[in-house]
Amino acid sequence: MFRRNRLMIAFAAVGMLMSASAGAQEYPTKPITLIVPWPAGGSTDISMRAIAESASKILGQPVTIDNKAGGSGTVGPATMVAAGKPDGYTIAQIPITVFRLPLMQEVSWDPAKDFSYIVHLTGYTFGVTTSAESQFKTWKDVVDFAKANPGKVTYATPGAGTSLHIGMEQIATLAGIKLTQVPFKGGAETNAAVLGQHTMLQADSTGWRPLVDAGKLRLLMVWTSARSPNFPNVPTLKELGYPMVYDSPFGIAGPKGMDPKIVAKLHDAFKKALDDPAVIATLAKFDMVPNYKNTEDYKKFVTEVTNSELKVIETLGLAKKKN
């Protein structure tokens, strides 16, 4: 009995200390909903679950995942913006399509105004492969062939307007070559297309890894900032002379008008989560590279990425019609 009382006094004392400090310290007092705009069970969902679990230990409140898939990953964030509760209890994963789709069509949100960006987390590993039987041994072979045969080089992407499509077109512009995109649906189909040599190249995230390991596909380049630890012999875009990194990065944000103190608290928790060994292990399984940016840098990044994407989208003829 006595022992329990002491415990309660201790709790009360801690509680008083906490309430004595700033108001935002009390946040969070209830579970936080993290909207993941992808179906449950996918690579993004699984890694976000690992990050959320780690962050919830730090925040002291459960961070529950709400899968709201649709609209290439924009329905979730758009729903959050429309609900408009900047109390910090509803936040969302922000995939790059949230910035890209508004450039291509009319949407209900404005990426520059409608979000309180919190923290930038990670991105994917993209790469370009070709069949092991292909004539292309290096990326230079592709460029040489494409210069002699404009438009003859075909590449499979997991969809039109995806980061892979836009990235390849940027590379082609820089290299001064013309490539032909063949959009498939997802990584399974692009793997089959390049394996069966229906297309000459494949541009996709690391779904090709087991096939490259088995020697059935040849990896020509990766689009990350540094070489992938799994493929130390494969050059990055920068090394090949294209000054860019393309990894379809993502972070989290809440609706506009969030209390900066709450933003800071969430930022700290998720930043710490990125250092959690369990999170690092999960990200590594999907070849995701931690790509931390703080709140300010994240905001700047949004403007940069919007501008650079707009240029490509306009050259591709994908930009929305201006009235």
Partner 1 sequence: METLLNVGHGFGIALLPINLLYCFIGVFVGTLVGVLPGIGPISAMSLLLPITLSGTPESGIIMMAGIYYGSMYGGSTTSILVNIPGEAASVVTCIDGHQMAKQGRAGPALGISALGSFIAGTFALIALMLVAPSLASVAIAFGPAEYFSLMVLGLVVLTFLTQGSMAKALLMACIGIVLGLIGLDSITAQPRLTFGRLELIDGIGLVPVVMGLFGIAEVLINTEQLIKRDVINAKITQLLPNKADWKASAGPIGRGTILGFFLGILPGGGSVISSFASYALEKRLSKTPERFGNGAIEGVAGPEAANNAAAGGAFIPLMTLGIPPNVVMALLLGAFVVHGVQPGPLMITQNPGLFWGIVASMYIGNVMLLVLNLPLIGMWVQLLKLPYNILFPLIILFTIIGVYCSSNNVFDVYVMIAFGVIGYFMRKIGYEPAPLVLAFVLGPMLENNLRKSLILSQGDLWTFVERPISAVCLAIAVVLLVGPLLPSFRKKRELVALEEGA
Closest approach of partner 1 to the CB of residue 69, in Å: 6
Residue 240, token pair as written in the block: 């090949």
Place of tokens 């004392």: 13
Read out DSSP for 122-157? EE--EEEEEETTSS--SHHHHHHHHHHSTTT-EEEE
Give kind and range of the element (H or E) at residue 281: helix 277-285
Minimum CB distance to partner 1 smaller for 217 or for 252: 217
Q: Point out which residues bind partner 1 (CB under 8 A).
A: 39-43, 46, 49, 66-72, 74-75, 78, 104-108, 154, 159-161, 180-186, 188-189, 191-193, 195-196, 198-199, 207, 209-211, 213-214, 216, 282, 285-286, 318
Closest approach of partner 1 to the CB of residue 231, in Å: 14
Minimum CB distance to partner 1 smaller for 62 or for 238: 62
Closest approach of partner 1 to the CB of residue 146, in Å: 15
Minimum CB distance to partner 1 smaller for 197 or for 303: 197
User: Strands 115-123 and 180-183, how do they pair?
Assistant: unpaired
Closest approach of partner 1 to the CB of residue 160, in Å: 4
Strand partners, 204: 127
Closest approach of partner 1 to the CB of residue 197, in Å: 8
Read out DSSP for 150-195? TTT-EEEESSTTSHHHHHHHHHHHHHT---EEEE-SHHHHHHHHHH
- Surface-to-core class of residue 256, CB atoms within 10 Å of its CB (0-12 exposed, 13-18 middle, 19+ buried): middle
Minimum CB distance to partner 1 smaller for 37 or for 251: 37
Minimum CB distance to partner 1 smaller for 199 or for 224: 199
